Structure 1
Amino acid sequence: MASGTSQLIWGLLLLSIDCLISVFLSSWHGPFPSVASLSSQFPFSFFTSTIDLLLLTFIRALLYILPSAFITSGNGYRLPTVLHVEYSFSLLMYAASPTKLLFLHEKLGADEVAPIGDYLFLAWNAIAALIMDISWRTYFSHTPSTYVTLNENEEDENQSPRETFQLILRLLQYCKREWVWHVSGFTWLFIYSLTRIFVPYYTGQVVASVVETQDHTALKAAVYVMTVISFISAIAGGLRGGSFEYAYARINRAIRFDLFTGLVRQDIAFYDAHKTGEIASRLTADCQTMSDTVALNVNVFLRNIVMLFGSMLFMMSLSWRLSLITFILVPIIFVASKIFGTYYDLLSERTQNAIADSNDVAEEVLSTMRTVRSFACERVEGDRFYEKLTVTLAVTRTKAIAYVGFIWVSEVFQTFIIVAVLWYGGHLVLSGKMKKELLVSFLLYQMQLGDNLRQMGEVWTGLMQSVGASRKVFEYIDREPSIQHHGTCQQEVRGKIEFRNVHFSYPTRPHQPILRDLSFTVEPGETVALVGPSGSGKSSCIALLENFYQPNAGQVLIDGMPLEEYEHHYIHRKIALVGQEPILFARSVHENVSYGLDGIPMEDIINSSKMANAHDFILQTTNKYETNVGEKGSQMSGGQKQRIAIARALVRGPAILLLDEATSALDTESEHVVQEAIYKNLDGKSVILIAHRLSTVEKADKIIVIHKGRVEEMGNHDSLLKKGGIYANLVHRQMMADSKETPSSIQSSSTREVEVSRALSISPSNQNTTKSLLGTSFTQSNSSFQSK
């Protein structure tokens, strides 16, 4: 990164070279360089002197020393913003050279030329402006490291800012992929543009034949040529449009596929930090904007660039003096395009963000419509969505105002160009420096050129809109997940699970530890219950076993090997999860049970459904195994969803089964059926279950009590009761609560333990009183998935 001193030295070096060359060329206002030639330019005249170009050298000198001045004053962070100002000055300096050339030739005769030093000075003025612009872009505008500030979003801290030009090149790469259709489109586009170039010339010939010669033969010939050109143009234009339209659709598919594949490989922490609605908006609105605008604008740009260069060649052949008028004003139009384009880029990004926010609200409300309706919050949510739409409207209004300003500036300059061409063209005709019959053709070319420039300005605006939409899309595509699935091990899994000194906190809350030096072991075929209050870290253990996250310290081992060393697809067939609220996809029962398995026999699906006690109710549905379960399983009851989820886990033949409160949200009858489905299929499998119900916990081979991220107690049900610790106190409290409902004499400690033991054989009618025993006897905390 450049320092203020090095920038000053480099600036002074370029400044010295620029000043020496400029002074030398300004003194070459004659046959050879001399002081006399320099002094002969006084008194100053725009038509005979080049001294005024030294003023531009002085402006460049200020721009060369500006970076070091900004850094010295502590404003080095503003240098990237000043780059836009420098670019505008560079374009104006380019325009100064052809302007001065016209002034110098105004007082010369048709066959006279200016001194060679004047032409070299004009050329150096343009070259020096180019050198200054390149220097600023590659060196001067770099912010010193002392001024680099961290982004508020920690996820973006290690990412370099995306330059607009780089994003445009990245967008054009998608056009390159569809080169076949673009070659077809460009071929027809070239033919179309080439035919349109000749229209102004033959239009001028028609006018000339009518006004000057009044010759019907010349008129017919010109009209005939115009007809053939228009017919060819129409055919080429249609084929061009069809080729590009199909290319747009393929580009849209490519962008959406790249984004979707980039999203699905992200780690779970990414989805903890980003809302689903926002991501969906990037996948729909942003991708559509990118594919439409970039492909369309490439089409428009290439069409206009061919017509632009063709028109300029014709114009130069008709009158180089009049053509310089255009070259003078075009850089000025580019200045306006640069200013408005940069601002439009910013507004486009804000618009896409606002749209993403509103889509996020819509997705959240529509996916939780039952809750919204149950609390009669339709109007509340409608107002919230309207507020988001209003924010989008406000940004769009600002964007519209900016666009109005851009069109005004463009139209004013276009009008000014036409007026200048009319005045100067008339002046050349009256002074005998141009034939009058060529003025009409030149004016038509000028209007066509103006239209080409206007459309190219709109292309830049459109590309800025694509750039604004593409920033987040490319950020998501390029984002490398923190958990890389590079493991290759596919050894047979026996089912031994070991947590070894595990420390863990969620990436979204790195300063809030969840697990603290947690260690325990599950032997192959053993059933282990994790109990503890919400927020103690039970579900975090399940999340680590599923490799959703990786521990901050310590290891999670399967059969003595770190979990991350197993092949991603293989280990997730050997570890199956049944959650409290299993998610089913809006597909058939068959597709949900066989999810992620290719070519699995129907017999295996039926067998796993029978083991999950799901086969009977599936056969009672309309289409049996082809019945669609609805969005997130909405067409199924809670117990039915749980049993389908169990079948989905069992069909994989897992060695390890994870049950995260798989029955806590069910009614008594459904719980009994689901528990029966679970426990009759545990033989030979290592099981970790999280449960708040004693009827589930008592059957475990080992019970691990986790409190504040640490293992407080470990043992089977009877041993923990005899130990008289946290677990026993929980049971005792529940029994005391039950004794209030059934008065009895004061019991001794030993008698109470007998009662507790009897209570563990809980009948279905008593399950409601004990179902949250282990979940509510602790102090309650955040019950979100992340805090469990």
Structure 2
Amino acid sequence: MKNYKRLLILLSPYKKALILGSLCLIVASLTNLAVPLYIKKLVDVVMVDKNMALMNNLTLGIAGLFFIQLIFSTAHNYLFDLTEKRAITDFRIKLFKHLHTLSLSFFVKRRTGEIVSRMTNDITTIENIITDLPATLLQQSIRLFGGIIIITYMNWKLTGLILVLAPVLVIFARTFGRKLKKLSTEIQDKLAVSTTILEENISCIQVVKSFVREKLENERFGNALEDSFQSAKKRVIISSFFGPSIGFIAFSTSLILLWYGGREVILGAISPGELIAFILYATIIAGPMGSFARLYARVQEGIGASTRVFEIMDTKGEVRDQPDAKTMPRIEGKVEVDNIHFHYRNDQDVIKGINFIIEPGQTIALVGPSGAGKSTLVQLLHRFYDPVAGQIRIDGIPLESVQLASYWKQIGIVPQETILFGGTILENIEYAKQGADKEEIIEAAKAANAHNFIMETPEGYQTIVGEKGIRLSAGQRQRIAIARAILKDPRILILDEATSALDNESELLIQEALDRLMQGRTSFIIAHRLSTIHNADRIIVMDKGKLVESGNHAQLMEKEGLYYKLYTLKSLQLVEDAEVKNT
């Protein structure tokens, strides 16, 4: 029940509404308990006294009780349901905010569909119990204990028959509740798998169609849903048996009461009105007993779903601010990398003892074969990850000693895979600087050679780019990303193969813009373009996670080491490409 207590904390900001709703519920429940007493008198007046005037008064009294019950039940339902929706909305927002505190490694290790499933399917299951349990518990407790007190006063012998029902229901609830909890967790996990497959197919639909793998993906999705269905089928079997069994026990008890009570009426021990009232109270008492059993089963399902959600909530970001972290002052641009090591897996180092010092304003080209660790190095420089050993210092300040946000505000990145949001072009560029005026945005777009193609679109800067920018070409997306980086005006710039998606004409214009942007800024570039490498102040050559060579173009060519080989191969490739174009 630990997780359920954590869920109830979500209701604490709405104590006033819940207290008022509880008072309304108490009034409605007490009114419900009073009705059988009036019905008892009404039946005796009709069948024994035969008093017309008193019958009319009692009928009006019962109608009044029903009306009071209507008013207070409506108020209770409104207050509790509204609080439930508000609390769940707050919980979704809280979970979403928490996701933003987690490190990049969390998202690398988990599939997107799984996280989406936790935010949707699991929280929907939790929603069904968060206020329903306290309300039902209060309502049914009043009916149960109030009904027992009244019928004990009326006839203690008949009360004993009803209380025999309680232990039977408890055994039923505990037995089936545990099974339902286990199945609920299992179903949520399997739904997460199917959600992941759905998300992957939507985002990778071009790949699926290109490789003609619709049949394979249909089978994957169908198998995942079928697996989920089999678990749901087990839950249905248990639930189908559980509900009717509770009803059978309750109705059997009512039948015994009716037989025994009828016998008492025939013998003259009780009046007909007392029998009717007792049967009504027996029904009122049997209802809570059945509700408690069913409620227990639902709570187990909710707790099963909450386990996965709180697993995320309890996860802490591996890269986070230290308690005494200070604000990063304005960065001048000196970067010191001191014997850093890093791995994604303990048994495989990706970065191995790299050392270098970069002066402010220098442009650094990172060169090396695929898998050398270039992208990992710039992620460490951006502090998406922390080194497992060694230290990175900016202007002599250790990165781990400063607040993440204050550092990230001064560093810009144009990633290898251009990432755009599904809104307008204007919104995507403005993302770098909230509140920027349109003139600033247009200037950034012009500097990135994006303004002309933007103005050629029907809606201009208000053009919707589609999910992940699918409505734009690769080159257009790249230029929007560069415009975004230009608008941010960072002190340190990271270009991860930023020009690889541009045609030759655009590349020249973009290169000019980037040259202007990099003036006075420390810049790290992962690039395959020879022009970029030539213009770099320093070239760092990496291989298998190590820094194997360092220097400018001329120095490295003289060494005839790895850089010489890579450069020669690149030059030959360009010559071959040119010859192919001329034929």
Shorter chain as denominator, the TM-score bin is over 0.9
User: Match of 1:342?
Assistant: 178
Partner of 2:409: helix, strand, or coil?
Answer: helix
Greater shift, 426-435 or 181-190, is seen at 426-435
2:306 aligned to 470, 473, 476, which one?
470
Matched AA of 1:202: Y
* CA distance 1:489–1:255, shift in 2 (3 Å): closer
| Structure 2 partner of 1:86 | none
Match of 1:652 in 2: 488
Counterpart position of 1:82: none
**Change over 3 Å in CA distance of 1:539–1:734 after alignment to 2:** closer
Question: Aligned letter for 2:477?
Answer: K
1:454 aligns with 2:290: yes
Deviations 1:743-786 (A, max 9, x none): xxxxxxxxxxxxxxxxxxxxx957999xxxxxxxxxxxxxxxxx
Matched, 1:401 2:401: no
> C-alpha deviations, 1:252-296, integer Å up to 9, x for none?
211101111111111011001111111111111222221233223
Residue matched to 1:525: 361
Deviations 1:139-165 (A, max 9, x none): xxxxxxxxxxxxxxxxxxxxxxxxxx1
Contact 1:294 1:463 (8 Å CA) reproduced: no
Find 1:390's aligned residue among 226, 235, 250: 226
**Residue in structure 2 matching 1:494, options 329, 332, 336:** 332
The equivalent position to 1:661 in structure 2, one of 472, 497, 511, is: 497
Shift of 1:431: 8.5
Aligned counterpart in structure 2 of residue 291 of structure 1, from 127, 142, 161:
127
CA deviation after TM superposition for structure 1 residue 432, in Å: 8.2
Which residue in 2 is equivalent to 1:747? Answer: none
Which residues in structure 2 correspond to 1:237-276 (within 5 Å)? 237-276=73-112
The two structures have a TM-score, normalised by structure 2, of: 0.93
The 8 Å contact of residues 444 and 486 in structure 2, kept in 1 or not, is answered as yes
**Contact 2:368 2:566 (8 Å CA) reproduced:** no
- Give the drift of 1:305: 1.9
Q: Which residue of 1 aligns with 2:341?
A: 503
Q: Residue 447 of structure 1 aligns to a residue in which SS?
A: helix
Asked if 1 retains the 8 angstrom alpha-carbon contact of 2:478 and 2:501, the reply is: no
3-state DSSP of counterpart to 1:651? helix
Cα contact 2:147–2:281 (8 A) shared by 1: yes
Instruction: Give the counterpart letter for 1:498 in structure 2.
Output: E
Q: 1:436 Cα deviation (Å)? A: 6.4
1:413 to 230, 235, 249: 249
Number of the residue aligned with 2:520: 684
User: CA separation in 2, counterparts of 1:233 and 1:738?
Assistant: 85
Within the candidate set 313, 319, 334, 2:155 is matched to 319
Alignment-derived partner of residue 476 in structure 2: 640
Q: Offset at 1:445?
A: 0.4
Displacement of 1:657 in angstroms is: 0.7
Q: Deviations over 1:113-132 (max 9, x none)?
A: xxxxxxxxxxxxxxxxxxxx
Task: Give a deviation string over 1:575-610, Cα, whole Å, max 9, x none.
Answer: 111112220111222222221533333333232222
- Equivalent residue for 1:92? none
**In 2: Cα distance, 1:576 partner to 1:682 partner:** 11
How has the CA–CA distance of structure 1 residues 276 and 333 changed in structure 2, closer, same or farther, with 3 Å as cutoff? Answer: same
559-568 or 174-183, larger mean C-alpha shift? 174-183
Equivalence for 2:467: 631
Which ranges of structure 2 fall in alignment gaps of 5 or more residues? none
Shift of 1:248: 2.3
1:399 positional shift: 0.4
Task: Give the counterpart letter for 1:447 in structure 2.
Answer: T
Which amino acid is the alignment partner of residue 524 of structure 2? Answer: I
Question: Is 1:675 the equivalent of 2:511?
Answer: yes
Match of 1:192 among 16, 23, 28: 28
> What SS does the aligned partner of 1:387 have?
helix
Tell me how far 1:422 sits from its aligned partner.
Answer: 4.2
- Residue 604 (structure 1) aligns with: 440
Question: 2:501 aligns to what SS in structure 1?
Answer: coil
Aligned amino acid, residue 493 of structure 1: I
Task: Please give the secondary structure, in 2, of the residue aligned with 1:178.
Answer: helix
Q: Which amino acid aligns with 1:236?
A: F
Shift of residue 250, structure 1, vs aligned partner: 0.6
Aligned to 1:482, which of 318, 329, 348? 318
Deviates more, 1:576-585 or 1:462-471: 462-471
Q: 2:367 is aligned with what amino acid?
A: V
Q: Distance in 2 between matches of 1:737 and 1:195?
A: 88
- Secondary structure of 1:556's match? strand
In the superposition, relative to structure 1, how do residues 571 and 231 fare at CA in structure 2: closer, same or farther (>3 Å)? same
Per-residue Cα deviation, 1:325-351 (whole angstroms, up to 9, x for no partner): 333321321121111111111111111
Partner SS, residue 680 of structure 1: helix
Query: 1:229 aligns to what?
Result: 65
Is this contact kept in 2: 1:580–1:661, CA < 8 A?
yes
Kept in 1, the 8 Å contact 2:432–2:487? The answer is no
Matching residue's letter, 2:488: R
Q: 3-state DSSP class of the match of 2:82?
A: helix
Structure 1 match to 2:4: 168
- What are the superposed Cα offsets for residues 296-320 of structure 1, whole Å, 9 maximum, x if unpaired? 3333332222222221221121123
CA RMSD of aligned residues (A): 2.4
Specify which of 400, 408, 411 is matched with residue 575 of structure 1. Answer: 411
Q: Could you tell me how far apart the structure 1 residues matched to 2:188 and 2:491 are?
A: 46
**2:131 matches 1:305:** no
Equivalences for residues 726-745 of structure 1 within 5 A: 726-733=562-569
Closer, same or farther: CA 735–447 of 1 in aligned 2, 3 Å: closer
- 1:170–1:654 distance in 2 versus 1, CA, 3 Å: same
Relative to structure 1, is the Cα distance of residues 592 and 703 closer, same or farther in structure 2, using a 3 angstrom cutoff? Answer: same
Check whether the contact 1:354–1:388 (CA below 8 A) recurs between aligned residues: yes
Q: How many residues align?
A: 580
Q: How does 1:12-411 map to 2 (within 5 A)?
A: 165-411=1-247
CA distance in 2, matches of 1:200, 1:673: 87
> Deviation at 1:178?
2.1
Greater gyration radius: 1
Equivalent position amino acid for 1:457 in 2? A
Give yes or no for the alignment of 1:723 onto 2:567. no
Distance apart, 1:437 and its partner CA: 4.7
* AA of the residue aligned to 1:200: P
Alignment CA distance shift 1:695-1:371 (3 Å): same
Query: CA–CA distance in 1 between the matches of 2:259 and 2:36?
Result: 20
| Aligned equivalents of 2:205, 2:182: Cα separation in 1 | 35
| CA pair 701-709 structure 1, distance change in 2 beyond 3 A | same
Higher relative contact order (CA 8 A, sep 6+): 2
Equivalent-residue separation in structure 2 for 1:252 and 1:344 (angstroms): 23
Partner of 1:700: 536
Letter in 1 for 2:132: L
The DSSP-based 3-state class of the residue aligned with 2:129 is helix
- Shift, 1:435, TM fit: 6.1
Q: Which amino acid aligns with 1:644?
A: I
Residues 1:492 and 1:702: Cα distance change in structure 2 (over 3 Å): same
Q: Distance in 2 between matches of 1:576 and 1:256?
A: 30
Counterpart contact for 1:167–1:467, Cα < 8 Å: yes
Q: CA deviation at 1:714?
A: 0.9
- Amino acid corresponding to residue 377 of structure 1 in structure 2: R
Amino acid aligned to 2:291: Q
CA contact (8 A) 1:308 1:449 kept: yes
